[in-house]
Amino acid sequence: MWAALWRTLGVDRALDEARQAAGTRIVPLVIESADPAIQVLPWECLHHPEHGFLAKHPGFTLARRLSAPAADGGERPKGPLKVLLFTALPDDLDQEKERLDTESEQANVLEALDPLIHQGWVQLTTPDDGRFDHFRELLGKQEFHLVFLSGHGRFNADKNLGSVGAWFLFEGADGRSEPVEGEKLAQAFMGTAVRAVVLSACQSGKAASADLGASLAARLLQAGLPHVIGMRESILDAAGIHFAHAFCKALGRQERLDVALQVARAAIAESPVLDGPRRDVAGGAERSQGQWCLPLLYSRDPAQALIDWQFQPQPPQTPLERYHEIAGMPLPATFIGRRRELRELGQLVYSDSPGHCLLTGAGGQGKTSLAGRLAQRLEARGWLVRTYTARRESSWGDFVNELLFCLQKPLSEQVDHALLRCRTELDKARLIVRALLQQTGDKLALVFDNLETVQDPATGYVSDEAVAAWLEACEPTGSDPVPVVLVTSRWAIPGWEGDRRVLRPLGQPLYGDFLRYHQQLGGAPWGVERLRHLYEALDRNFKGLEFFHALSQVAGDDEAFLQQLEQSRKELQLYMAVEKLVGYLQPDERELLNRMRVYRALTFADGVRIIAQDLGEPKRLLQRPVGLSLVEVEIEPIFYLPRYRLSPLVADWLRQHEPEPIREIRQCAARYQRWVFNNLLPTLGQALIAHEALRWSKMDEEAAWVALNHIVPHFYRIGLIRILLKEWLPTLRETHNQELRIDALGCSSTFCFLLGQFAEAKQFLEDSLLICQATTNRARKGLTLNSL
């Protein structure tokens, strides 16, 4: 079909002449037409009889334009290349079909641009607000040359189904979708320095045969942008991730935009399986190989460079002040990550009936930064924000006096007189809070930071009477106005949750956020392998990264890097006070904590109960380790039940100080993970968890059974034959169970046959036949002979 499309053009001779004239240079191919019926055709699939698919051939580039380029005498902006990476992921998208893996895509962009940012060739901005108003504000206030707009697009060409056109889904103020039509989106770029937009959104390049302007990409081009990249159809996460990484690396080599796109298409076609924090367990990489033709480029002149690269790059300077203060609370100079938490907690904090939030988690997870970011947004909206940081030298009296100083006359005088009649700290707190609410029109926010320093480690209750009284005074009761209260602590406060009160344990930062913080700290461009090793070894912890950067910077010495990493891990364990916190536990709680090392993935409460065995009620035993942030908690989205996992740094400390859990405990945990797969979560992810648990427990035969009966069929159904032959079946063919070996050899033969590898397929069948003869399995022997 695509060869026929090429033949209709009749330009074989012109192409040969262009190739000969170009020599070793790349030949740009441009599809130029203002006819929607022409532009709607999949030109990226053009197939040449000699060169193959032209849109991914290294000797060509392929772009589209609507008309001949006008003379452009304007100067290119000087570098560095200023990039805006803007992502929008509304809450109301279908969790399985519509939510894109924007975190992995963002991490790939950061990873690809990391050395260029460090050298000063690129400046990158990654906002944490996905609203269209914020996007428009950024374009108006800052200069950008390249904009990545990542999210979800919608397209409609049928008038019977509503308005014809294309929309990009931004995040609304409530976290739900806010569709922005192409024309309105195009207006946001008017008067800006933007040279190119990459619409990493499904159907962003799709157009109707009757209306070319219905395409998001074409609409932006018509608005005056020199280059626009869009997607013709819905694109898989894995394809989008490979596209972003390869495209940015090519731009970093100062390639033209059309050349970078050609490289990115080829990268999608090759699609190596992702590993590390970006591992593609669902196999989307191999399935995405056929999606290389979806990215399209509309360009007025593909030869136009984005910027003038003839400049002297200046490496970014590490800020002299890493922190600044808001209402007395130290905050990082730039807030990074926690997009979902900001959005979800924002709905609680900024609502008509605002509530209270307790952020818990191990040290270094970013609790103070998140609370400060929420408070910062409140302050920008005109709220009065004041902070008490328990760990700092400032006294409680200073905090209360500062609140009193905020009162204006005559209200301040009334409060002064009334305080004389207050008998308790609770009475004083209620009086001051009511007065401040009255003065601010109920716009009062109080932040209590690092409260673990005033909590009883044995119970978790706040032991400081004054702080406890103020928390009680601010507690929501009925519909009465109360201040927004944000509390951070490593430990949970018993009885916190209730009406308009939320307890939110913070999970570990995403890889992209960790990488961005590494760049902000002035980290060297060590390469992908070291960065991922750093992320995993430091338990994905921001504070651990700070410890690492506080030591002397590592050059190319791998041994020195590992020594520095180990020293940082020890400092992080001290900072998290692992030894001290474990010391607070009762003997049965400590034993359960040690046994939880057998779970390398999240497990339900029943899984904890199974390994608790003789220790007692697991719910009671878990309460203190969870409250002390030794055990992490996440809510499973299908059943909405808590799942538990031991912090890796805690597990590492236990490995050095506690005996290894007995084999029986390990096997109980592995069988439970298999039970979860069979009865609760029959997903590929859970099958992989069960398989790993069984292998780690030396239950190799059961692990092989899970692989052959669940993982291999799943990968086969979605076309991951090469991955099975390379990564799974070699081990399965070596299992001691002869029946399973026959199955593994049979699968290997079938898959090789499907790939046209007939000699290998025959050899696997002959090996299987030998085993069948040795086991006197006549049925298997007959099947194998038939296959031969």
CATH of 81-299, one of 3.40.50.300, 3.40.50.150, 3.40.50.1460, 3.40.50.2300: 3.40.50.1460
User: Is 53 strand, coil or helix?
Assistant: strand
Give the Cα separation of 747 and 472 in Å (integer).
Answer: 65
Checking if the pLDDT of 776 tops 80, the result is no
Mean pLDDT computed over 97-111: 64
Give the Cα separation of 253 and 60 in Å (integer).
Answer: 17
Comparing 668 with 460, which gets the higher pLDDT? 668
Among the residue ranges 137-141, 454-458, 704-708, the one predicted with the least confidence is 454-458
| Residue 84 binned pLDDT confidence (cut-offs 50, 70, 90) | very high
In contact, 627 and 684? CB cutoff 8 Å: no
489-543 pLDDT per residue, tens = 988 888 887 767 788 888 777 777 777 777 777 776 667 777 888 888 887 778 8
Among the residue ranges 471-480, 695-704, 741-750, 753-762, the one predicted with the least confidence is 471-480
322-380 pLDDT per residue, tens = 444 555 566 655 667 777 787 778 777 777 777 889 998 888 788 888 888 888 888 87
Mean pLDDT computed over 732-749: 92
DSSP letter string over 245-310?
HHHHHHHHTT--HHHHHHHHHHHHHH-PPP-GGG--TT-HHHHGGGGTT-EEEEES-TT--SSB--
Mean pLDDT computed over 31-52: 87
List residues bridging with 712 in a β-sheet.
none
164-203 pLDDT per residue, tens = 678 888 988 777 888 998 889 999 999 899 999 998 765 4
**Which distant-in-sequence residues (6+ apart) come within 8 Å of 520 by Cβ?**
332, 333, 334, 336
Among the residue ranges 12-26, 530-544, 653-667, the one predicted with the least confidence is 530-544
| Residue 745 binned pLDDT confidence (cut-offs 50, 70, 90) | very high
- Please tell me what DSSP assigns to residue 728: I
Checking if the pLDDT of 392 tops 70, the result is no
Mean pLDDT computed over 646-664: 88
Comparing 252 with 749, which gets the higher pLDDT? 749
Checking if the pLDDT of 770 tops 70, the result is yes
CA distances from 508 to 361, 367, 639 (A): 9, 11, 22
State residue 733's pLDDT score: 93
Checking if the pLDDT of 31 tops 60, the result is yes
CA distances from 565 to 527, 540, 575, 647 (A): 16, 13, 15, 18
State residue 92's pLDDT score: 65
In contact, 561 and 530? CB cutoff 8 Å: yes
Mean pLDDT computed over 643-649: 85
Checking if the pLDDT of 641 tops 70, the result is yes
323-505 has the same fold as 81-299: yes
Comparing 13 with 338, which gets the higher pLDDT? 13
State residue 465's pLDDT score: 92
CATH class of 323-505: alpha beta
Give the Cα separation of 574 and 653 in Å (integer).
Answer: 10
Give the percent of the chain with pLDDT over 70: 86
All structural domains of the chain with their residue ranges? 2-65, 81-299, 323-505, 511-576, 715-788
Name the pairing type of β-strands 295-299 and 227-231: antiparallel
Determine phi and psi for 687, rounding to 5 degrees.
-60, -40
Mean pLDDT computed over 706-723: 88
Most confident of 84-98, 630-644, 705-719: 705-719
| Interior angle at CA 145, CA 139 and CA 149, nearest 5 | 60
Give the percent of the chain with pLDDT over 90: 28
Instruction: State which H helix or E strand residue 47 sits in.
Output: strand 47-48
| Residue 552 binned pLDDT confidence (cut-offs 50, 70, 90) | low
| Residue 103 binned pLDDT confidence (cut-offs 50, 70, 90) | low
R_g (Cα) of the chain, nearest Å: 30
Checking if the pLDDT of 314 tops 60, the result is yes
| Residue 147 binned pLDDT confidence (cut-offs 50, 70, 90) | very high
- Please tell me what DSSP assigns to residue 452: G
**Which distant-in-sequence residues (6+ apart) come within 8 Å of 439 by Cβ?**
406, 407, 408, 411
Q: Tell me what the pLDDT averaged over the chain comes to.
A: 82
279-296 pLDDT per residue, tens = 333 334 444 456 888 889
Closest C-alpha among 126, 580, 164, 599 to residue 362: 580
Mean pLDDT computed over 235-258: 82
Most confident of 136-150, 244-258, 637-651: 136-150
Checking if the pLDDT of 742 tops 50, the result is yes
Comparing 263 with 315, which gets the higher pLDDT? 263
Mean pLDDT computed over 149-163: 74
Checking if the pLDDT of 259 tops 90, the result is yes
Among the residue ranges 126-130, 298-302, 319-323, 772-776, the one predicted with the least confidence is 319-323
| Residue 132 binned pLDDT confidence (cut-offs 50, 70, 90) | very high
Checking if the pLDDT of 767 tops 60, the result is yes
